[in-house]
Structure 1
Amino acid sequence: MLQSLRNIVQELNAARDLNAMLEIIVRRVKAEMRTSVCSIYLRDGASGSYVLMATDGLYPESVGKVSLAAGEGLVGLVVEREEPLNLDQAHTHPAFQYFPSTGEERYSAFLGAPIIHHREVLGVIVVQQAESRRFDEGEEAFLVTVSAQLAGVIAHAEATGTLASMGSQHREASFHGIAAAPGVAIGRAQIIAAPANLAAVPFSPCEDPEAEIAFFKKALASARREIRAVGERLKANLNREEQALFDAYVSMLDDASLAAEVCERIRQMVSAPRAWSEVMLEHVHRFEAMSDGYFRDRAADVRDLGARVLQHLRQQKKTRQSFGENSILVGEELTAAMLAEIPRENLKGLVSIKGSSNSHVAIVARAMGIPTVMGADALPFERIDGAELVVDGYRGEIHVHPSQQLRRRYEAIVREEQALAASLDLLADQPCITTDGKRVRLWVNTGLMADVVRSLERGAEGVGLYRTEVPFLMRERFPSEEEQRAIYREQLEAFSPNPVTMRTLDIGGDKALSYFPIEEENPFLGWRGIRVTLDHPEIFLGQVRAMMKASLGLNNLRILLPMISGINEFEAARKLVLRAHDELREEGYDIALPPLGVMIEVPSAVYQARALALRADFLSVGTNDLTQYLLAVDRNNSRVAGLYNAFHPAVLAALKAIVDAAHAEGTEVGICGELAGDPGGALLLVAMGYDVLSMNATNLPRIKATLRAANCSELTDLLDGVLQMECGESIYHKVQLVLQQLGLHTLLQPGG
């Protein structure tokens, strides 16, 4: 049955629309389970009833006409119970309801499984048998597995409007990802695909099939000539098997039946790139389904050939993609380079199917103030081109075809954001002082020169975290020491005389360099941060030398070490820093030794905070990683991102322990994680005694307004109460209530 399920999934991947998928399901399940009937009922969003949408065994004319409410009939009972129903004599069950139009009076056995997506019953899949039959546990498990596969398909169909025939023009659908850049965007989806990814070609129609066919044949001929030329050019360096691969490519392109398949789809008003991708993916899936290993391996060759031709189809297109005024860029894996394709004034939001909140494009988006959601892996992006979207960069949500009510709510949030931004800008030149006179230093986290202007405009007093990995991510090789020096100099000069804290290279985890790949089964517990650079002292020394040379005459540099888990790592890194400083002094550079700090972001460092504070010049807490390590929650995994909570009692207790340990040794300690940029988080951190709060420039005015309205003695009372609480959600709501009492309700994030 496992192989049968794989074959069904492969057929579904090649299906063009929902109707084709449903027909495949009912036909294949009926055959695999050797039953008389397989039917699928789907929820109608308008009425809430469940409509028969596909069947193999019941009367075809009943499709779209028979419907049941939750609790009505056996299908409605499956919906109500949200679990399978297995009966050998269905007609004797009290809930049985007879529909003459279906012809189901002939069938005795009944097995129904709910189709559930994100806790909502989207439909029911049913198999029926003429003879009395109790389906066994394996058969029941198989149907449940099929229903789980079908749930995602139907959720996608709801999002794309495929279910419009069931009563509503467009079905509102919501998808979850990772909040990567705050804000709300309302606009139209603009799909941007990778250059040659067959699976990422969006569905698009063609207006003139014959012209599209001519265009397709021209691109096919160009690809054929290129492959022949490459094969001929490399002939002397290829063995017989490799030569045969080029011959096979040309042979497939010469195959009239392949071109005929594509042309047939184009005549059905489908664009050439989409038609080509559909046909080639079907061939790929056929090869993958073969039992012979040699033929399964050929699937990769077919995919490669498809990508080569797709590249030519893309190059042949002369029309440049146009972007409207309210464009939301959507793609499988957005890159910073893709942002250059759209005018900034037209770009309202970003959605990436892959990636994390620390992806390069997410960093750029935060610097540009573009609401962004990453890791939205359930979103059917290739089928929503032009659809209206709402991107909630606070919660990591995407709403497709939003209702008028939802749209109005988010429009109000946008207006509130604009009004708030205008009022907060007036605070840029004002100091951050609480109502009872406590001065709080507000710094910024940066990584790009684009951050500098925004940071200075918003009154930043220094840089608490400069991500030096950004220049490394933007290149195809390690930047030279001189290239690094020039980049670091720009940052140091821009903020001089205020301090700039430069974190040494922090790669690994979800930040990989294309030219220095790190592949691990568990990257967040693997080779990352200081572990990489201590293993490669040539990288560390070159970077530290570049930082120090950049600080010549400015003396506002602070160096921060990431991912320190113990004293030995700190001492090893300090020796290298001292060595680099000695080398520069010997070379004639009159540079003072910069302060050296430790990032506290792993649990072991929490328990050694006092020992580290004794040795380091300052501590800086990275609450993002510290929270995920304490709670064992990958914050870049959308499935568990909801469990990530920086207000968890364990996190707050750790933060209090760190600041107490640092101050016991007279060492300054700051925060450079996202919690510092949360109004409620800032209140608690100031109450704990943190000396510096560093955050994204976008959040700085919001935090300044929050703290200028607060009183430290009252915050101490708040902290004492919060530290006695046992639930993160309760703590969060308690803090939000305090913000409202301070008259700061406009500073709360939507829903806060």
Structure 2
Amino acid sequence: MLSTLRRIVQEVGAARDLQTALDVIVRSVSVAMCSDVCSVYLYNEDTNRYTLMASEGLNRQAVGRVTLGRSEGLVGQVGLREEPINLEDAASHPKFRYLKETGEERYRSFLGAPIIHHRRLLGVLVIQQTKQRRFDESEESFLVTMSAQLAGVIAHAEATGSLHFPTSAHERPRQSRFIGVAGAPGIAIGTAVVLAPPADINAVPEKDTDDIELELTLFRQALVSVREMMSATAEKLSGQIPAEEQALFDVYLRMLDDNALGAEIEALIRKGQWAQGALKAVILEHVRHFEMMDDPYLRERATDVRDLGRRVLAALQQQQQDDVAWPDNAIVISEELTPSVLGEVPREKLAGLVSVQGSGNSHVAILARAMGAPTVMGAVDLPWDRMANRELIVDGNLGRVYVSPAPELINQYRSLIDEELAFVEGLESLKDEPCITPDHYRLPLWVNTGLMTDAIRSLDHGAEGVGLYRTEVPFMIRERFPSEKEQEDIYREQLKSFAPRPVTIRTLDIGGDKSLGYFPIKEENPFLGWRGIRVTLDHPEIFLVQIRAMLKASEGLDNLRIMLPMISGVPEVEEALYLIHRAYHEVLSEGVNIQLPPVGVMIEVPAAVYQVREFARRVDFLSIGSNDLTQYILAVDRNNPRVADLYQPYHPAVLHALHKVVTDAHLEGKPVSICGEMAGDPSAAVLLMAMGFDVLSMNATNLPRVKWALRNIPLTDAKVLLDEVLEMDNPRVIRSAMELALRRRGLDKVLGGRSEIN
């Protein structure tokens, strides 16, 4: 049954539309289970009725015509009970309803399983036999498994508007909602633009074209390019590889002929598919056929076909990369958002972001917050590759994406956007005001930056300094390591923009969820592997160039602070300090007139929490990276949407660790800041202030909210709240208690629209 299930799933996945998928299901399940009938009834919430949408065994004329009420017949009972019904003699059941049009009077046994997606009933999958018998447990389990597979297919079809009941073929696509994880706060309404990773045949989005001749031309040009490249490679390797290997190039070239794959792809383009989508459909269909063959040699040819498709796709993408049509309110959707993807988007066109993978605490989500773009991460059920040009609402506050939203919902969200804009504009008056509590406690608010555009936004929001400048961002958007001079120019621009305010520049922090295409780090568990200071100490040539660039950039400004990431022990601190002093003396010897800047360490791993006093005796300041510290204390991968609910910054263990770090740092007379996302959460910021943090550093978007909240809460009240929550043992209760405390003080606006729209 397992191999049969795998084969059916492959066939369904290759289906080009919902009706084809349904036909595959009923035909394949009927054969696999040796049943006389297999049918799919889909439920229409608008009419509260089931429609027979596909059947193998019942009268074909009944498909699309026969309907049943919500509680009518055995199908209705399966849906009401939301569990399988297995009957030896269906006609004897009191709820049996005979439908003459179907011709089902000769079938005695009945097994029906509900099709449910995220607790929502989508339909019922049924098998029937003429023989009077009860289906066994393995058959029942198989049908339940198939209904679960079918649920995702139907939900995706509904989301893309390709699910149409016979009576509603011309209706507006039904509104669909997908649950993800809140990535960056705010609400965006706009048009979807799908971005796919390079040369990934599986990730090509579906898209129609109005210019068939252009797509044909692009495809033919891509074929010419690939043929020339392969011919050149074959000629270059001639005499160096065996003749049978050399013959593979000839096979590839013949597959590209107009009478082979090329003809099939062109035929799909002429039907209105864009070139990349037609290529994907043909290549994957051939791959599937090869993979299902019994002969091992022929199965291996699936790899050849996929490789050929990848080469042609790369050529097509090279031609079409500049042809993306950017609507005014573009909502970028990708299977996995990356910093390089963000770099492709014209900032003036960007309204919001949606990623199928990742969580609200991933690095790209942090960048999205810095950009002020409403973002939803981890929308795992969203059929992202079929979303091109669809109207969307992105709710970054609640982590929701609405596809084809109803006009009423759009109006509700527009009202929320208007309220939020009015509130933010009202906070602009605080730009030049210090963050001072009603009982006169002064707390500096700094910003986290990574892009040059962050500097302008940060200063506009009244930032008093930079608590974290992410140097990995300039590294990520290049195709090689930036030179010392290039880095010096980048850092100089940041330091100059904020002078005389302090700028804390973190040394290169790659690994984990931050990778460089030209310096790949492949590990089974990257977050516990080679990352942060571990990489740069193993490559002192990278570290020294970066430190020299920072020091030279600070000449005449004297506002540089250097920060070391991912420190887990004293030896790392001492080795890094040695290299910093070495670079400092090298720069002095070149005639650069600078002072040795303050050096600090980041507290991001549990080991560092217990060595704060030892670190403090060796460095000038400490800074907590609460994102990683929370991840490591709770053993929760912050990029994994499956465990996103377990990532709780308000967890008692996290709060006690933060409190300990501040206490120990102050015992050694050293200041301590926090530059993780907690600092930008107004309710968390109240607790951080009460703990005694000397600086809070956050993304520029949240700074006005935090300032407004802290200017309206006395330090004495904040300390009372801290004492109360440190006695609590449930992170959700702690968060609720803090939000309630803000609401009682009339500060609910800073919570960023957490109330749900119904």
Normalising TM by the smaller chain, what interval?
over 0.9
- 1:748 maps to what in 2? 751
Alpha-carbon spacing, 1:211–1:192, altered in 2? closer, same or farther (3 Å):
closer
- 1:476 maps to what in 2? 479
Alignment of 1:7-406 (within 5 A): 7-68=7-68, 72-165=72-165, 167=168, 169-194=172-197, 196-207=199-210, 220=223, 223-225=226-228, 227-232=230-235, 234-235=237-238, 238-254=241-257, 256-311=259-314, 320-334=323-337, 343-354=346-357, 365-406=368-409
Do structure 1's residue 485 and structure 2's residue 482 form an aligned pair?
Answer: no
- 1:545 maps to what in 2? 548
What percent identity do the matched residue pairs reach? Answer: 58
- 2:569 maps to what in 1? 566
Could you say what secondary structure the match of 2:737 adopts?
A: helix
Alpha-carbon spacing, 1:750–1:69, altered in 2? closer, same or farther (3 Å):
farther
Alpha-carbon spacing, 1:493–1:83, altered in 2? closer, same or farther (3 Å):
same
Per-residue deviation, residues 341-373 of structure 1 (Å, max 9, x unmatched): 665433322223456667776565444422233
Alpha-carbon spacing, 1:212–1:580, altered in 2? closer, same or farther (3 Å):
closer
CA distance in 2, matches of 1:521, 1:93: 55
CA distance in 1, matches of 2:321, 2:381: 32
Alpha-carbon spacing, 1:203–1:620, altered in 2? closer, same or farther (3 Å):
same
Report deviation, 1:33: 1.6
**Structure 1: which amino acid aligns with 2:653?**
A
**Structure 1: which amino acid aligns with 2:455?**
V
TM-score in terms of structure 2 length: 0.91
Alpha-carbon spacing, 1:237–1:568, altered in 2? closer, same or farther (3 Å):
same
Could you say what secondary structure the match of 1:308 adopts?
A: helix
**Structure 1: which amino acid aligns with 2:10?**
Q
Could you say what secondary structure the match of 1:345 adopts?
A: coil
Report deviation, 1:336: 5.5
Do structure 1's residue 636 and structure 2's residue 652 form an aligned pair?
Answer: no
**Structure 2: which amino acid aligns with 1:390?**
I
Alpha-carbon spacing, 1:537–1:271, altered in 2? closer, same or farther (3 Å):
closer
CA distance in 1, matches of 2:354, 2:298: 37
Could you say what secondary structure the match of 2:672 adopts?
A: strand
Report deviation, 1:316: 6.8
**Structure 2: which amino acid aligns with 1:50?**
Y
Alpha-carbon spacing, 1:363–1:680, altered in 2? closer, same or farther (3 Å):
closer
Report deviation, 1:606: 2.5
- 2:652 maps to what in 1? 649
- Is 2:600–2:622's contact at 8 Å kept on the other side of the alignment? yes
- Is 1:38–1:127's contact at 8 Å kept on the other side of the alignment? yes
Report deviation, 1:178: 4.3
CA distance in 1, matches of 2:559, 2:176: 50
Specify every segment of 5 or more residues in structure 1 that has no aligned partner in the other structure, as ranges. Answer: none
Report deviation, 1:438: 0.5
- Is 2:359–2:641's contact at 8 Å kept on the other side of the alignment? no
CA distance in 1, matches of 2:485, 2:324: 39
- Is 2:357–2:641's contact at 8 Å kept on the other side of the alignment? no
Report deviation, 1:484: 2.1
CA distance in 1, matches of 2:177, 2:245: 47
Per-residue deviation, residues 289-309 of structure 1 (Å, max 9, x unmatched): 233333333222212322333
The range that moved more, 262-271 or 282-291, is: 262-271
- 1:696 maps to what in 2? 699
The range that moved more, 218-227 or 496-505, is: 218-227
- Is 2:340–2:476's contact at 8 Å kept on the other side of the alignment? no
1:524 to 524, 527, 530: 527
- 2:6 maps to what in 1? 6
Report deviation, 1:586: 5.3
Alpha-carbon spacing, 1:154–1:223, altered in 2? closer, same or farther (3 Å):
same
Could you say what secondary structure the match of 1:521 adopts?
A: coil
**Structure 2: which amino acid aligns with 1:575?**
Y
CA distance in 2, matches of 1:564, 1:681: 24
CA distance in 2, matches of 1:213, 1:588: 61
- 2:623 maps to what in 1? 620
Do structure 1's residue 507 and structure 2's residue 510 form an aligned pair?
Answer: yes
Per-residue deviation, residues 136-164 of structure 1 (Å, max 9, x unmatched): 33333332322222222111111111123
Per-residue deviation, residues 83-112 of structure 1 (Å, max 9, x unmatched): 333333334444443333323332233333
TM-score in terms of structure 1 length: 0.92
Alpha-carbon spacing, 1:357–1:723, altered in 2? closer, same or farther (3 Å):
closer
CA distance in 1, matches of 2:223, 2:734: 62
RMSD of aligned residue pairs (Cα, Å): 2.9
Alpha-carbon spacing, 1:292–1:658, altered in 2? closer, same or farther (3 Å):
farther
The range that moved more, 549-558 or 449-458, is: 549-558
Report deviation, 1:686: 0.9
- 1:497 maps to what in 2? 500
Alpha-carbon spacing, 1:73–1:653, altered in 2? closer, same or farther (3 Å):
farther
Do structure 1's residue 717 and structure 2's residue 699 form an aligned pair?
Answer: no
Specify every segment of 5 or more residues in structure 2 that has no aligned partner in the other structure, as ranges. Answer: none
- 1:707 maps to what in 2? 710
Alpha-carbon spacing, 1:64–1:459, altered in 2? closer, same or farther (3 Å):
same
CA distance in 2, matches of 1:597, 1:253: 59
- Is 2:509–2:533's contact at 8 Å kept on the other side of the alignment? yes
Per-residue deviation, residues 479-515 of structure 1 (Å, max 9, x unmatched): 2333322222222222222221122211111111111
CA distance in 2, matches of 1:344, 1:612: 41
- 2:688 maps to what in 1? 685
Report deviation, 1:434: 0.7
CA distance in 2, matches of 1:590, 1:205: 61
Report deviation, 1:733: 2.1
CA distance in 1, matches of 2:88, 2:568: 61
Alpha-carbon spacing, 1:730–1:49, altered in 2? closer, same or farther (3 Å):
farther
The range that moved more, 139-148 or 671-680, is: 139-148
CA distance in 1, matches of 2:464, 2:16: 55
Report deviation, 1:338: 5.6
Do structure 1's residue 596 and structure 2's residue 599 form an aligned pair?
Answer: yes
- Is 2:612–2:661's contact at 8 Å kept on the other side of the alignment? yes
Report deviation, 1:219: 5.5
- Is 2:179–2:400's contact at 8 Å kept on the other side of the alignment? yes
CA distance in 1, matches of 2:541, 2:358: 29
CA distance in 1, matches of 2:316, 2:530: 41
CA distance in 2, matches of 1:713, 1:389: 45
Report deviation, 1:35: 1.4
- Is 1:41–1:53's contact at 8 Å kept on the other side of the alignment? yes
CA distance in 1, matches of 2:452, 2:213: 50
Alpha-carbon spacing, 1:588–1:344, altered in 2? closer, same or farther (3 Å):
closer
Could you say what secondary structure the match of 2:101 adopts?
A: coil
Could you say what secondary structure the match of 2:447 adopts?
A: strand
Could you say what secondary structure the match of 1:682 adopts?
A: helix
Could you say what secondary structure the match of 2:352 adopts?
A: strand
**Structure 2: which amino acid aligns with 1:695?**
M
Alpha-carbon spacing, 1:311–1:618, altered in 2? closer, same or farther (3 Å):
closer
**Structure 2: which amino acid aligns with 1:580?**
A
The range that moved more, 227-236 or 278-287, is: 227-236
Alpha-carbon spacing, 1:349–1:269, altered in 2? closer, same or farther (3 Å):
same
Report deviation, 1:441: 0.5
CA distance in 1, matches of 2:582, 2:212: 69
1:666 to 659, 666, 669: 669
Could you say what secondary structure the match of 2:348 adopts?
A: helix
CA distance in 2, matches of 1:231, 1:355: 41
